[in-house]
Structure 1
Amino acid sequence: MMGDATAGESGHGMLRKIRLGWLALKDLGVEQVCLYALYRLGLASGYFRLRTPARPKAVSTKELKLHPIFVIPTRDEMAGLVGGSGKEIIREADEIVSGQVRIFGGPPAALNLAPPDADRHWSRTRFHPGEDIKFTWEPARFGWAFNLGRAYLLTSDERYPEAFWQHWEQFTAGNPVNCGPNWESGQEVALRLIAYLFAAQVFEPSARSTPGRKAGLLKAVADHAERIPPTMIYARAQNNNHLVSEACGLYLAGVALPEHSHAAAWKQTGWRWLEYAFRSQIDPDGTYVQHSLNYHRMVLHLALLAQAGARTAQQEFSPQARQRLAAATRWLLAQVDWTSGDASNLGNNDGANILPFGVRQFRDHLPTAQAVAAAFLAERCLPPGPWDEMAAWLGIAPLELAEVPKPVDSPAIQRLGNTEEWATLRGVRFRSRPAHADQLQVDLWYRGINVLLDPGTYLYTHKRIWNNGLVNNRVHNSPVIDDLEPMLRAGRFLWLKWDQAHWIENECQPGKLLTAEHDGYQPLGIRHRRALAWRAPGRWQVTDWLTPVGKVKQHRASLQWLLPDWEWSLDESELILTGSQFKVSVSIQTDPADMLDGSQKRLVRGGGVLAGKLDYPDTYGWFSPTYGSKVEALSYQVEIHMKAPVKIITNIQLEPVIFPS
Structure 2
Amino acid sequence: MSSSQEAQGRWRWLWNRLRCMTPVEVVHRAARAATAARRQRLMAEPVPAPALVEAPRWVQVPPASEQLVAGTTPYLDEAGALHAGRVRLFERERFDVGVEPDWLRCPLTGVTAPLRPARRIAITDRAQVGDIKYLWELNRHLQWVTLGQAWALDGDAAHLDLLRRQLAGWLKQNPPGQGPNYTSSLEAAIRLVNWSVTWQLLGGANGAIWQGHEALRGAWLEAVYRHARQVARAYSRHSSANNHLIGELCGVYVASRTWPAWPQLVRLGDAARLELIAQVDRQVHADGVPAEQAFEYAGFIFDFLWLAERCAAANAEPMPEAYRARLRAMADFAHALGGASGGMPAVGDADGAEALRLDPRPGREPLAALLEKEAALGDRAVPPWLRPRDDIAWLGLARPPVALRAAATLDFDAGGYVLFEGGHLQGGMDVGPLGYLGIAAHGHADALQVWLSVQGEPLLIDPGTYAYWAEKAWRDYFRGTSAHNTLELLGRDQSDSGGRFMWTRHARARLLRRERSGPGRLRVVAEHDGYGTALLHRRELAVDCEAGRLELRDTTPRPVAAALHWHLAPGWQCELLGDTLLARRGRWQARLRVQADAPGELALLQGQTDPPLGWASGAYGDKQPSPVLRWRGTAARWNTFIDIESLSE
Smaller-chain TM-score bracket = 0.7 to 0.9
- The CA distance in 2 between the partners of 1:657 and 1:214, in whole Å, is 65
Identify the residue that residue 221 of structure 2 maps to in structure 1.
218
- The CA distance in 2 between the partners of 1:118 and 1:17, in whole Å, is 24
Residues 193, 356 of structure 2: 8 Å contact kept:
no
Identify the residue that residue 390 of structure 1 maps to in structure 2.
391
Asked whether 1:70 is paired with 2:58, we answer: yes
In structure 1, give the amino acid aligned to 2:350.
N
Identify the residue that residue 232 of structure 2 maps to in structure 1.
229
Deviations 1:183-216 (A, max 9, x none): 1111100101111111111123875453424444
Identify the residue that residue 92 of structure 1 maps to in structure 2.
78
The equivalences for 1:245-260 within 5 A come to 245-260=247-262
Residues 255, 313 of structure 1: 8 Å contact kept:
yes
Identify the residue that residue 525 of structure 2 maps to in structure 1.
516
In structure 1, give the amino acid aligned to 2:234.
T
The CA deviation at 1:30 is 4.9
Asked whether 1:588 is paired with 2:588, we answer: no
The structure-2 alpha-carbon separation of the partners of 1:215 and 1:540, relative to structure 1 and needing over 3 Å to count, comes to farther
- The CA distance in 1 between the partners of 2:16 and 2:463, in whole Å, is 28
Asked whether 1:532 is paired with 2:541, we answer: yes
Asked whether 1:559 is paired with 2:565, we answer: yes
The structure-2 alpha-carbon separation of the partners of 1:22 and 1:158, relative to structure 1 and needing over 3 Å to count, comes to closer
Identify the residue that residue 503 of structure 1 maps to in structure 2.
511
The structure-2 alpha-carbon separation of the partners of 1:449 and 1:463, relative to structure 1 and needing over 3 Å to count, comes to same
Asked whether 1:479 is paired with 2:480, we answer: no
The equivalences for 1:78-227 within 5 A come to 79-84=65-70, 86-111=72-97, 112-115=101-104, 116-117=112-113, 119-127=115-123, 129-130=125-126, 131-204=130-203, 207-210=208-211, 211-212=213-214, 213-227=216-230
The structure-2 alpha-carbon separation of the partners of 1:86 and 1:572, relative to structure 1 and needing over 3 Å to count, comes to farther
The CA deviation at 1:410 is 5.4
Select the residue among 627, 631, 634 that pairs with 1:634. Answer: 627
Using the TM superposition, name which of 13-22 and 504-513 deviates more.
13-22
RMSD of aligned residue pairs (Cα, Å): 3.2
Deviations 1:586-620 (A, max 9, x none): 3223254xx3xx32222332326xxxxxxx342x1
Asked whether 1:569 is paired with 2:558, we answer: no
Using the TM superposition, name which of 439-448 and 238-247 deviates more.
439-448
- The CA distance in 2 between the partners of 1:626 and 1:143, in whole Å, is 18
Deviations 1:460-488 (A, max 9, x none): 12344234541101111111112121112
- The CA distance in 1 between the partners of 2:374 and 2:244, in whole Å, is 20
Select the residue among 534, 538, 543 that pairs with 2:552. Answer: 543
In structure 2, give the amino acid aligned to 1:203.
L
- The CA distance in 2 between the partners of 1:190 and 1:17, in whole Å, is 27
Identify the residue that residue 608 of structure 2 maps to in structure 1.
607
In structure 1, give the amino acid aligned to 2:70.
G
- Secondary structure, aligned partner of 2:506: coil
- The CA distance in 2 between the partners of 1:318 and 1:30, in whole Å, is 34
The CA deviation at 1:564 is 1.7
Identify the residue that residue 623 of structure 1 maps to in structure 2.
616
The CA deviation at 1:385 is 8.7
The equivalences for 1:12-27 within 5 A come to 24-25=20-21
Using the TM superposition, name which of 314-323 and 451-460 deviates more.
314-323
Select the residue among 49, 62, 67 that pairs with 1:60. Answer: 49
- The CA distance in 2 between the partners of 1:109 and 1:438, in whole Å, is 34
Identify the residue that residue 9 of structure 1 maps to in structure 2.
none
- The CA distance in 2 between the partners of 1:514 and 1:159, in whole Å, is 62
- Secondary structure, aligned partner of 2:542: strand
Asked whether 1:578 is paired with 2:578, we answer: no
The CA deviation at 1:236 is 4.9
- The CA distance in 1 between the partners of 2:382 and 2:589, in whole Å, is 30
- The CA distance in 2 between the partners of 1:322 and 1:530, in whole Å, is 36
- The CA distance in 2 between the partners of 1:225 and 1:269, in whole Å, is 12
In structure 1, give the amino acid aligned to 2:294.
S
Identity %: 21
The CA deviation at 1:563 is 2.5
In structure 2, give the amino acid aligned to 1:544.
R
- Secondary structure, aligned partner of 1:504: strand
Using the TM superposition, name which of 456-465 and 405-414 deviates more.
405-414
Using the TM superposition, name which of 145-154 and 194-203 deviates more.
145-154
- The CA distance in 1 between the partners of 2:328 and 2:396, in whole Å, is 18
The CA deviation at 1:459 is 1.5
In structure 2, give the amino acid aligned to 1:447.
Q
Deviations 1:205-256 (A, max 9, x none): 8754534244443333223212211111x34541111111111111111111
In structure 2, give the amino acid aligned to 1:373.
A
Residues 606, 626 of structure 2: 8 Å contact kept:
yes
Identify the residue that residue 299 of structure 2 maps to in structure 1.
297
- The CA distance in 2 between the partners of 1:403 and 1:122, in whole Å, is 51
The structure-2 alpha-carbon separation of the partners of 1:506 and 1:409, relative to structure 1 and needing over 3 Å to count, comes to closer
Residues 194, 356 of structure 2: 8 Å contact kept:
no
In structure 2, give the amino acid aligned to 1:651.
I
Deviations 1:404-427 (A, max 9, x none): 714453542421114953101111
The equivalences for 1:419-458 within 5 A come to 421-429=425-433, 432=437, 433-434=439-440, 435-458=443-466
Q: RCO (CA 8 Å, sep 6+): is it higher in 1 or 2?
A: 1
Deviations 1:329-361 (A, max 9, x none): 322332235535x63211111212223334651
The structure-2 alpha-carbon separation of the partners of 1:33 and 1:651, relative to structure 1 and needing over 3 Å to count, comes to farther
In structure 2, give the amino acid aligned to 1:546.
T
The CA deviation at 1:506 is 5.0
In structure 1, give the amino acid aligned to 2:566.
Q
TM-score, length-scaled by structure 1: 0.84
The CA deviation at 1:289 is 2.3
Residues 486, 566 of structure 2: 8 Å contact kept:
yes
Asked whether 1:48 is paired with 2:25, we answer: no
- Secondary structure, aligned partner of 1:67: coil
The structure-2 alpha-carbon separation of the partners of 1:578 and 1:151, relative to structure 1 and needing over 3 Å to count, comes to farther
The structure-2 alpha-carbon separation of the partners of 1:14 and 1:398, relative to structure 1 and needing over 3 Å to count, comes to closer
- Secondary structure, aligned partner of 2:305: helix
- The CA distance in 2 between the partners of 1:383 and 1:446, in whole Å, is 17
In structure 2, give the amino acid aligned to 1:622.
W
- The CA distance in 2 between the partners of 1:329 and 1:385, in whole Å, is 13
The CA deviation at 1:75 is 5.1
The CA deviation at 1:554 is 4.2
- The CA distance in 2 between the partners of 1:383 and 1:13, in whole Å, is 50
- Secondary structure, aligned partner of 1:334: helix
- The CA distance in 2 between the partners of 1:218 and 1:337, in whole Å, is 46
The CA deviation at 1:489 is 1.3
Deviations 1:81-101 (A, max 9, x none): 333364344332221221111
> Tell me, which stretches of 5 or more residues in structure 1 are unaligned?
1-11, 609-615
- Secondary structure, aligned partner of 1:563: coil
In structure 1, give the amino acid aligned to 2:347.
L
Residues 161, 206 of structure 1: 8 Å contact kept:
no
Deviations 1:607-656 (A, max 9, x none): 26xxxxxxx342x12212222222222222121322x2x13213142535
- The CA distance in 2 between the partners of 1:383 and 1:560, in whole Å, is 31
- The CA distance in 2 between the partners of 1:336 and 1:356, in whole Å, is 22
